[in-house]
Structure formats: structure tokens, C-alpha cells
Structure 1
Amino acid sequence: MYILNFIRGFCMALADSVPGVSGGTVAFILGFYDNFVNSLNNLISGNKTDRINAFKFLSKIGIGWVTGFILSVLFITSVFEKNIYQINSLFLGFIIASIPLIVKSEIKTLTSHKRNIIFLIIGIIVVCAMTYLNPAASSGQSFSLKIDNLHLLFLVYIFLSGMIAISAMVLPGISGSTILLIFGLYAPILTAINQVLKLNFEYLPAIIIFIMGILVGILITVRIVRKLLRKHRAKTIYCIIGLMIGSIYAVIMGPTSLEIPKPPMSMHTFSIVSFGIGCVLVPGLELLKKLLKNKDEELEII
């Protein structure tokens, strides 16, 4: 069971480290999303027994996540800017292939509450507006997270971005990395983490503020997400799908938030091969879900 949860956490990290589908989407596809959200909630507000069980489960997921995230950061930062259009084409494949899976899994809820489709439109508008109005895109400049460039308003901006990004990670929809892409902080955060791993501590204060935002975001959003999915599931799912559709625009505009901004992705720079790989990988996760489920059943028999 430890190995299985390690693999689950590792797959979540791969999703969380790139704009596209969220770690929550991977948990949803692999069939342990409810257990994941409930464990987070129990760790925060459960009784002693619930907290112990939640910690055991999340620690196994967490070790896999940290391993996957560090490996992803070390790899992605070395190829991201040079191959931005191929990578973003891959992200588009992730997103577009994931939407039908979520619709299929929630088809009864969606079809029985068609009036709530307005929340899908709201989700699209929110992401597109955030992408269009984000400071990096509007100024044509990218953020630097070196300590010399930090000031109070920028620190608040980093903190809030961390809060919102972790909220997106918990939801089975738009990824936290896509949120950072929208806010113009994806490449700067990856660069900062990579530099800290290489013992360049000029970027450490910004990372600490970002982590604080993540921790506060977890405390606030887990309960809200859990409650929304229970009491307003149709509205929430419609909104999630809208966020995912809107994130297509965010990924297309992603090159504008690089340290040296590039033009938005176009038909000329779009990579059909990378897009196809992204589309294939998502059904691959669905297959992995079945393999993990069969492995769980075998372990229970033993």
C-alpha cells in the first residue's frame, strides 16, 4: 500500500508542477480524491484517531509528491523557456483530454442541474479575466523573486497567489501551476525553488512567503471545497469545468509571462505532436487507476 500511495503522490506532483490539470484531477482520475480531501479535513479538524489515520495516508502521498515535485522542478526549469510552445501544447492536451473524463464521471449531476450551467460561464470568464489582467502580461515584464526586488505589496501578492494556487490544487480542475501562470508567477516560482535547491538563498524569503500562503490556503479552502462539493456539487462541478476551459486561454498566453516574454502561442507555434502526447497521457492515468485498484484488491486478499 505504501508503494501505491507513493505512486499516487508522485503522479499528483507531476500534474501540480506544470500548468494544465491539477493534482486534484489526478486524484480524481486515480480514484482516491474523496479520501484525499477527507484526510486533509480530518488532519485539520478531526479527532485524535481521525488525525492519526489521515496523517498515515497523507504522509505516504506526501513523500511521493515531494519526490515528484523536486524532480519535476529540476527538469522543467532547464527546458521550460527553450521549449515553451511544445510544453504548452502538451498542457493543452492534458486539459482538453481531462474535461470529458470529469463530465463523464459527473454526468448525472450535470444533466439533472442544467440551469447551473451559468457557473461554467462564470468559471471561464474568471480565468480569462485573470489571465488578461495579470500584471506580468499587462506590463510585458516578468517578476523576479530575488530579495532585492521584494516589497510589501509584492510579498502580499506572492502570499495570495500561494493561497489561491493551493486551492486550485485541491480542486479536480484547473491546476495551481495554471493559477501561477495566470498571475505571472509560474516561471519565477520555479526558478526560485530551483535556485534554493542549489543553495542560492537570495530567493528564500519569497519562497517562505509563498509557502505561508499555501499553508493558510489549505486551512481555509479544504473545508470550503468539501462543503461546496457536498451541498452545491452541480454548481461546483460546472464551475470547475469552466475554470478548465478558461485555462486553455491561460496556457495559450503563458509565453507572455516568461522572464523574457514571448508572443502567445499561435497555430504556427502549436505542436500537434506534443498536444497528442498530452491527450494520450490522461487516458493513461485512467488505466493506471484500474491497475492500482486491482493491486489494492490483491493486497486485501493477501
Structure 2
Amino acid sequence: MSYIWMVLKGMLMGIANIIPGVSGGTMAVSLGIYDDLIYSITHLAKDRKKSLRILLPLGGGLVLGIIGFSYLIEVLLSQYTLPTALAFIGLILGGIPILVKSFLHALRQEKKKISFSHIVLFVVFFALVVSLALIQAEGNTMSTITLSFGSIITMFFIGVIASATMVVPGVSGSLVLMVLGYYYSILNSVTGFFDALTSLNIDQLLHYTGILFPFGIGVLTGIFLISKLIEYLFTNHPTLTYSGILGLVLASPFAIVYNTNALNDLQGSNAASFLIIGLIFAVLCFLLTYYLGKTEEPA
């Protein structure tokens, strides 16, 4: 049963990764698997058995979430923006009690109290996410990347940057891609690849593979490098790290609402129904994340 929960958690992370303003790292924190995720990535060579028990079901679910939701994201964000945004806010906030508990536990272990440094880090990282959300991106139209040597190199480095969404809580890789002008191009490549695969269009399959493969290698490289840094911070400065993460996570709801323009739904004829449905989904998703965050991982 624990492996089924891990697949489900992976799917939620995968879905979070493609929503602008939502961080897969935040979802990992909310689901209570962040520490295990970082450990599994950084100790894959030393503790392969334990790492694979976590990474395989989690990775499988993540891929399923990305593939399945890539086809739905445009519809949900264009036609049901407010309910979708509120649902993800519920998912994120559902992990706050567990995150706060971990922070307080780290304080007790270090025999410390909340200090000025903790508050400063919280405010700085909260402001970082809000500032990033306020950046107005240009060129975010659905387009196709031309395959060339230059684009392959570019996609690798874009992948390294985007990997932050899977490791750093509160930093949305999708939002960063949107700021850089590559969000819809990557989304188009993902859906185009599977359309080509189902229709057995070899030319299109090779084209999208040439784009997504270097992007994927960049993501894996970035995840490993950033995970090493996160592990160091948790080992040597746990309470300060938790303070920063709390700032990142609590700022995420603002980023979601702002970058999806969810509040525009309150001006339409369906405002009341969208708000009620959205709040119901927010509560249900809060409870879902809170429950999943308390489930045990594979030993």
C-alpha cells in the first residue's frame, strides 16, 4: 500500500510541476516526502536499495502526472481557473502543519528559539517568490522549438534551471520557464511527443525527442546538484533552512493566484459557483495533502 501512496504523491508532484506558480518541491514538502526525496537523490550510489524504493514509484507517478495533466492544464486554467487555483492552494497549505512541526522539532534539537535570523530568512524568501510572481513574462504563446545544435544546448541549460521546481520548495520551475519564454514551447513538445508516439509519426517523434532529451538530462543534472546543496543546508543549518522554506511555501498561494489570473473569474457570471466549488476543492485538497503527508514511506 505504501508504494501506491508514493505513486499518488508522485502524480501530485508531476501535476504541480506544470502549473505556473506551483512548485513540485513545495508539494513534496506538503506531502511529507521532501527529506526522503533529497536523501534518495544524494545517496543513490551509496544506499541504492532504499533510494530506488522511493524514487521508482515516486518517479513513475511524477511522469504519469506530467503526461496526463499536460493535456488538461490549458482547459482547466482557461475555463476553470479559480477552482483549479484554489485546489492547488489547498494542496499546498495542507502540508503547512507538518512543516511547522518539523521546524519546531529542529529548534528543540538545536536548543534554540525563533531568532531575528529566522524571521529575516522567512521574509527574504517570501519576498523572492512574490517578486518572481510579479515579473511579467513575454513571448508565452504556444510555439514549436526549431531543432538545432544551439537549441539542444539551450534546452539542456533550461532543464537545469527548471529542475529547481522539483527540489527547491516555493520556486516554480514552470513560472521560471514562463518568465524565460519557454513554458508553452516545452508543454507543446511534451504533448506533441505523445501525439507522435500514438500516431507513430517517426519524423515528429525524432524532432520532439531531440528537444526533450537534452531538457531531461539538464533536469536530472540540476536536481542532483541542487539536492546536494539542500542536503548540506539541512545537515548544517536545519532551522534556518526550514525558515527559508516556510517563506517560500507560504508565498506560493499568492504566486498561483497572480500568475493564473484566478481572481478574474470573480467578475464573470459563474463567479459564485466557481468560488463555492473552488473553496470546497481547497478544503478537500487540504485534507488530502495533510493525510498523505502523514502516511509512511517505503522502508
The TM-score range, normalised by the shorter chain, is 0.7 to 0.9
Q: Distance in 2 between matches of 1:247 and 1:30?
A: 15
Does 1:242 find its partner at 2:247?
Answer: yes
% identical aligned pairs: 26
Q: Which amino acid aligns with 1:129?
A: S
- Describe the SS at the equivalent of 2:248: helix
Q: Which amino acid aligns with 1:232?
A: H
Match of 1:194 in 2: 191
CA contact (8 A) 2:10 2:60 kept: yes
Task: Give runs of aligned pairs for residues 1-302 of structure 1, distance below 5 A.
Answer: 1-19=2-20, 22-43=23-44, 46-47=45-46, 50-109=47-106, 112-115=113-116, 116-136=118-138, 141-148=139-146, 152=150, 156=154, 159-199=156-196, 200-201=204-205, 203-255=208-260, 265-266=263-264, 268=267, 271-272=274-275, 273-290=277-294, 292-293=295-296
Q: Which amino acid aligns with 1:128?
A: V
CA, structure 1 residues 106+189, in 2 after alignment: closer, same or farther (shift >3 Å)? same
Unaligned runs of 5+ in 2: 197-203
Q: Distance in 1 between matches of 2:92 and 2:229?
A: 24
CA, structure 1 residues 289+94, in 2 after alignment: closer, same or farther (shift >3 Å)? closer
Moved more, 143-152 or 9-18: 143-152
CA, structure 1 residues 213+243, in 2 after alignment: closer, same or farther (shift >3 Å)? same
Match of 1:260 in 2: none
Instruction: Give a deviation string over 1:106-138, Cα, whole Å, max 9, x none.
Output: 2354682331211122212322333333532xx
- Equivalenced residues, count: 279
RMSD: 3.5
Deviation at 1:149, TM superposition (A): 9.2
Q: Distance in 1 between matches of 2:80 and 2:259?
A: 12
CA, structure 1 residues 181+240, in 2 after alignment: closer, same or farther (shift >3 Å)? farther
Instruction: Give a deviation string over 1:255-295, Cα, whole Å, max 9, x none.
Output: 4xxxxxxx6744536743314412431222222344x44x9
Match of 2:201 in 1: none
CA, structure 1 residues 242+54, in 2 after alignment: closer, same or farther (shift >3 Å)? same
CA contact (8 A) 1:37 1:222 kept: yes
TM-score, length of structure 1 as denominator length: 0.74
Q: Which amino acid aligns with 1:226?
A: E
CA contact (8 A) 2:16 2:22 kept: yes
Q: Distance in 2 between matches of 1:76 and 1:107?
A: 36
Deviation at 1:105, TM superposition (A): 3.4
Deviation at 1:193, TM superposition (A): 0.9
Deviation at 1:37, TM superposition (A): 1.5
- Describe the SS at the equivalent of 1:253: helix
Q: Distance in 1 between matches of 2:38 and 2:101?
A: 21
CA contact (8 A) 1:124 1:243 kept: yes
CA contact (8 A) 2:26 2:249 kept: no
Moved more, 147-156 or 113-122: 147-156
CA contact (8 A) 1:145 1:203 kept: no
Deviation at 1:31, TM superposition (A): 3.7
Deviation at 1:80, TM superposition (A): 3.1
Q: Distance in 2 between matches of 1:168 and 1:11?
A: 13
State the structure with bigger RCO (CA 8 A, min sep 6), 1 or 2: 2
Moved more, 118-127 or 202-211: 202-211
Moved more, 83-92 or 63-72: 83-92
Match of 1:258 in 2: none
Deviation at 1:219, TM superposition (A): 2.4
Deviation at 1:36, TM superposition (A): 2.1
Q: Distance in 2 between matches of 1:59 and 1:11?
A: 15
Deviation at 1:89, TM superposition (A): 3.6
- Describe the SS at the equivalent of 1:147: coil
Instruction: Give a deviation string over 1:235-260, Cα, whole Å, max 9, x none.
Output: 222222222343334323324xxxxx
Q: Distance in 1 between matches of 2:182 and 2:95?
A: 24
CA, structure 1 residues 152+52, in 2 after alignment: closer, same or farther (shift >3 Å)? same
CA contact (8 A) 2:70 2:191 kept: yes
Deviation at 1:19, TM superposition (A): 4.2
CA, structure 1 residues 148+60, in 2 after alignment: closer, same or farther (shift >3 Å)? closer
Deviation at 1:76, TM superposition (A): 2.3
